[in-house]
Amino acid sequence: MATTAVTSAEIASEAPRSDFGRVLAQRERRFAAALLAPAFLALLATTTFPLLFLIYTSAFRMDLAMPFTNGFVGFENYRTLLADERFWTSLLVSLVYTGSTVALQVIVGLALALLVMDMKRGQGWFRVIAILPVVLSPAVVGMIWRTFMLAPEFGIVDYLAINAGLGSKNWLGDPTLAMVSVIAIHTWQWTPFAFMVLLASLASLPEDIYEAARLDRASAWQRFRRITLPLLRPAIVMVIIMRTMVALTAFAAIFTVTAGGPGTATEILNLYAYRKSFTELSIGYGSALAVALLIVTIIISGILFAMRRAK
């Protein structure tokens, strides 16, 4: 009889504990979902929906100048795009621009980081000074370079070039020099980012490995190539990924400096899409160009992330 009573008591006490646990877990999940919902909805509203709308728009002919021809055209915009010489030219310009500026940012950023790492004094000041270009608006940077620095006969760069015996150059009016100029401007503005990331990574490298290497009489170059570079690889790849993404979609500085000119010499894909959509008012085709840029960005990012995983 006593045994029966104990058994009943045990059963009664077990059930509430189990139910309570499940209910608690369920409540926490619901609470987490409630907290997440506003941010998630905001994300949907500001990225997913516009993206889907962009893709939808690219399936239409939406030409404000000839409204009577508007309507659904399926993949017509993409067929036109693939046959558009200017699209391929601007894609090439984008790749050259992105490749050049990212390579320069990493190389110069790493060089500066190595230099500053060995500084005994003034490192803090150098960091502050280095960060200044990054905080400026790209449009402001572009305007300063265009009007004060690069104007032939009147700009500072031209003044220095003349005094160095190179003579006056049409930095923004010559197709090749214009491309070099916009690459230099972008590099100048964003190298500090690479510098800061790589400097932080350098600071975190273990000293004992270098100590061991020095004991084995490794040269400075050997230490750099076999220790520093491999250990920095994750940081370098991360910098490359981030800078590539930014450079592929760079707009403000180039728009301000050359607006894609002279002619189409510096017209990256972004600028071409802008012109098609808002200057020529061919919004359907402009949307297709923007989708193409998105695809290119995804492909390149995919390659870079795959590169990162490779060990």
Partner 1 sequence: MPSFTPTRRTLLKTGTAAAAFATVGPAFLRQAAAQDVDLAPYKSAQIDWQQVSGETITVAVIPASYFENLITLAPQFKALTGIDVRFEKIPPAQIRQKSVIDLTSKTGTYATHAADPMYYALYAANKWVEPLDTYLADKSLTDPAWFKLDDIIPAWRSANGIDGKLYGMPYDGEVTIQVYRKDLYDAKGLKPADTLEAYMSNAAALNTPNDRVWGAALRGVAGAGQNMYIYPSIFREFGGDWMKGGKLTVNGPEAEAALAWYVDIMKKYAPTAAANWNWPDIADAFSQGTVASYIDAHSSASVINNPEKSKIIGKVAYARWPKGPSGKRTTSIWNWGFPINSALPEKKRKATWLFIQWAASAETQARTAHKFAGPTKRSGVNRTSVWKDPDYIKLMNGFGENFVAATMGALQEDTDVDWRPRVPQWPAIGDTMATAIQSALSGQATIKAALDDAQRRIEPMMRG
**Least CB distance from residue 81 to partner 1, whole Å?**
13
If the CB atoms of residues 192 and 260 are measured against partner 1, the closer one turns out to be 260
Nearest to 285 by CA among 51, 63, 71: 63
Q: Which residues of 60-98 are buried (b: 16+ CB within 10 A; e: fewer)?
A: bbbbeeeeeeeeebeebbbebbeebeebeebbebbbebb
| Structure-block tokens of residue 211 | 């100590």
Task: Report the residue from 136, 200, 281, 299 that binds partner 1 according to the rule CB under 8 A.
Answer: 281
| Residue of 289, 85, 256 whose CA lies nearest to 178 | 256
End-to-end CA distance of the chain: 69
Question: For partner 1, which stretch binds (CB under 8 A), given 3-11, 104-112, 126-134, 168-176?
Answer: 168-176
C-beta of 288: minimal distance to partner 1 in Å?
15
Cα-based distances in Å from 120 to 115, 123, 125, 148: 11, 7, 12, 35
Q: Tell which residue, 162, 215, 163, 128, has the closest CA to residue 171.
A: 162
Cβ atoms of 195 and 109 closer than 8 Å: yes
CB of 110 to partner 1, least distance (A): 34
- Which of 185/235 has CB closer to partner 1? 185
Give the residue, chosen from 6, 65, 135, 310, that forms a contact with partner 1 under the rule CB under 8 A: 65
173 binds partner 1 (CB under 8 A): yes
Binding-residue total with partner 1 (CB under 8 A): 34
CA distance 70 to 57: 11
Please tell me whether residue 172 binds partner 1 under the rule CB under 8 A: yes
Stretch that binds partner 1, among 6-14, 136-144, 207-215, 261-269 (CB under 8 A): 261-269
Give CA angle at 257 (185, 250), nearest 5°.
65
89 lies in the binding site for partner 1 (CB under 8 A): no
Q: Which of 279, 295, 299, 302 binds partner 1 (CB under 8 A)?
A: 279
Half-sphere exposure of 283 (CA within 13 A, CB side): 16
Peptide bond into 175 cis (omega under 30): no
The distance of closest approach from Cβ of residue 253 to partner 1 in the complex, given in angstroms and rounded to an integer, is: 15
User: Considering only residues 192, 275, 287, 289, which one is a binding residue for partner 1 as defined by CB under 8 A?
Assistant: 275
**The binder of partner 1 chosen from 122, 263, 298, 307 (CB under 8 A):** 263
Contacting range for partner 1; rule: CB under 8 A; set: 11-19, 35-43, 217-225, 260-268 = 260-268
Q: What is the CA radius of gyration of the chain?
A: 28
Cβ at position 63, least distance to partner 1 in Å: 8
Q: Is 180 in the site for partner 1 (CB under 8 A)?
A: no
C-beta separation of 33 from 25 below 8 A? no
Q: Is 16 in the site for partner 1 (CB under 8 A)?
A: no
The residue to which tokens 């090439």 are assigned: 92
Closer Cβ to partner 1, 85 or 216, answer by number? 85
Residues forming the site for partner 1 (CB under 8 A): 64-69, 86, 146, 151-155, 168, 170, 172-175, 178, 258-265, 275, 278-282
